């Protein structure tokens, strides 16, 4: 098995059966070797530096009804909010002072925050913070709208494909959504020039190892600049409330596989990973992740942006907890980088 891992590190690709063996292998020694190789690649590419992104959750209103997501349209048990342009700019100002040079605006597909309005916000951030990267994570849009956002000064876009295979996609999403359209959006984003991020939830309901392998092959084709992976975590007010959470171990394995496939790709150690195990964030870094995204949203809205239950939001998860985050990273020999951290 270690030969496969060496092969992945050197060739950045494996035969399908080898991915299968690697993903199902229970041997701790092999897993440790996989993480160690991925970590070496990260250290060569980025040194012991971890990039930070300030996450601003701009709205928890959503027109979609994804079966796994806590802010789905049908959930009547949450208090909906949307930030104003001024509130978002205040988050950026606060973040800039703390040292953030990337702002990520994430939110549900909220019709009330029109594309024209988002363009206005992006334009304002671009002019006040010319040295910062602006990342958007606002779901599916038309080619023209993505293009207008790019022209207004947005640089990066995060849109997980969630799962490649159509029938599995349909088990997670209502009829009006499709895997094909999601993948089309990702190709558009890349074509327009966005540094583009995609990814999946690990252990989502009905997911098989073969699904994950198809995800790997899709990502291999797309060649995104960023890859986001987190374990599925149930939310009490969704149809998947009773479904068990995804495995941290499998998430970490996959993270290492992607690091070996794409040495330069930006991989966050996600909040979902941090939410499941106390030191999930650090485990992600040790498996080859090189980005963390502390929460920069106003503190009174953080709890309302609940995609899954028990979202980590205190201490090192919060933008104000940057010193704590840095202390934690230092215990494993890493530290925060204050650079913008573009894909190179």
Question: Which parts of this chain interact with ligand 5AD (CB under 6 A)?
Answer: 68-69, 160, 162, 201, 230, 232-233, 235, 272, 307-308
What span, in angstroms and rounded, lies between the C-alpha atoms of 301 and 218? 35
Q: Are 289 and 255 in contact (CB under 8 A)?
A: yes
Q: Are 156 and 195 in contact (CB under 8 A)?
A: yes
- Nearer to ligand 5AD by Cβ, of 35 and 160: the residue is 160
CB of 55 to ligand 5AD, least distance (A): 10
Tell me the CA distances in angstroms from 119 to 110, 142, 196, one per residue in order.
Answer: 14, 14, 18
CB of 128 to ligand 5AD, least distance (A): 26
CB of 191 to ligand 5AD, least distance (A): 21
Please enumerate in sequence order all residues whose Cβ is within 8 A of that of 28, keeping only pairs 6 or more positions apart, or say none.
none
Q: What three-state secondary structure class fits 88?
A: helix
CB of 217 to ligand 5AD, least distance (A): 19
- Nearer to ligand 5AD by Cβ, of 95 and 108: the residue is 108
CB of 202 to ligand 5AD, least distance (A): 9
CB of 242 to ligand 5AD, least distance (A): 13
Please enumerate in sequence order all residues whose Cβ is within 8 A of that of 232, keeping only pairs 6 or more positions apart, or say none.
68, 201, 202, 203, 204, 205, 207, 240, 243, 245, 246, 272, 308
- Nearer to ligand 5AD by Cβ, of 129 and 146: the residue is 146
- Nearer to ligand 5AD by Cβ, of 41 and 197: the residue is 197
- Nearer to ligand 5AD by Cβ, of 14 and 200: the residue is 200
CB of 28 to ligand 5AD, least distance (A): 26
What span, in angstroms and rounded, lies between the C-alpha atoms of 267 and 229? 8
- Nearer to ligand 5AD by Cβ, of 41 and 57: the residue is 57
CB of 5 to ligand 5AD, least distance (A): 27
Q: Beta partners for 197?
A: 158, 226
- Nearer to ligand 5AD by Cβ, of 41 and 179: the residue is 179
CB of 301 to ligand 5AD, least distance (A): 16
Tell me the CA distances in angstroms from 341 to 85, 117, 193, 294, one per residue in order.
Answer: 25, 27, 17, 15
Q: Are 230 and 271 in contact (CB under 8 A)?
A: yes
> What kind and span of H or E run contains 325?
helix 322-331
- Nearer to ligand 5AD by Cβ, of 14 and 149: the residue is 149
- Nearer to ligand 5AD by Cβ, of 20 and 304: the residue is 304
Q: Beta partners for 105?
A: 56, 136
Q: Are 162 and 169 in contact (CB under 8 A)?
A: yes
Nearest Cα to Cα of residue 14 among 249, 227, 261, 210: 261
């Amino acid at each position: 098995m270690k030969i496969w891992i060496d092969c992945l590190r050197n060739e950045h690709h494996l035969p399908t059966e080898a991915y299968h063996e690697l993903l199902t292998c229970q041997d701790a020694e092999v897993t440790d070797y996989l993480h160690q190789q991925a970590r070496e690649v990260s250290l060569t590419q980025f040194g012991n530096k971890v990039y930070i992104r300030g996450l601003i959750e701009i709205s928890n209103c959503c027109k979609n009804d994804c079966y796994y997501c806590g802010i789905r349209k049908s959930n009547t048990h949450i208090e909906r909010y949307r930030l104003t342009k001024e509130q978002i700019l205040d988050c950026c100002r606060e973040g800039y002072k703390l040292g953030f040079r990337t702002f990520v605006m994430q939110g549900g597909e909220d019709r009330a925050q029109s594309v024209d309005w988002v363009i206005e916000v992006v334009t304002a951030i671009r002019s006040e913070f010319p040295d910062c990267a602006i990342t958007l994570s606002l779901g599916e849009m038309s080619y023209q709208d993505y293009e207008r956002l790019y022209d207004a000064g947005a640089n990066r876009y995060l849109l997980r494909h969630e799962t490649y295979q159509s029938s599995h996609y349909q088990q997670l999403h209502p009829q009006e959504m499709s895997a094909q359209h999601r993948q089309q959006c990702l190709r558009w984003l890349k074509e327009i020039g966005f540094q583009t991020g995609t990814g999946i939830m690990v252990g989502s309901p009905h997911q098989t190892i073969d699904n994950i392998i198809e995800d790997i092959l899709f990502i291999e084709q797309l060649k995104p600049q960023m890859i986001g992976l987190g374990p599925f975590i149930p939310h009490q007010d969704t149809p998947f409330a009773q479904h068990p959470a995804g495995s941290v171990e499998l998430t970490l394995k996959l993270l290492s596989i992607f690091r070996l496939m794409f040495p330069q790709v930006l991989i966050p150690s996600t909040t979902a990973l941090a939410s499941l195990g106390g030191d999930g964030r650090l485990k992600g870094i040790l498996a080859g992740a090189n980005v963390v995204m502390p929460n920069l949203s106003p503190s009174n809205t953080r709890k309302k942006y609940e995609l899954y239950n028990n979202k980590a939001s205190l201490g090192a998860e919060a933008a104000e907890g940057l010193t704590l985050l840095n202390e934690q990273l230092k215990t494993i020999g890493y530290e925060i980088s204050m650079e913008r951290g573009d894909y190179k």
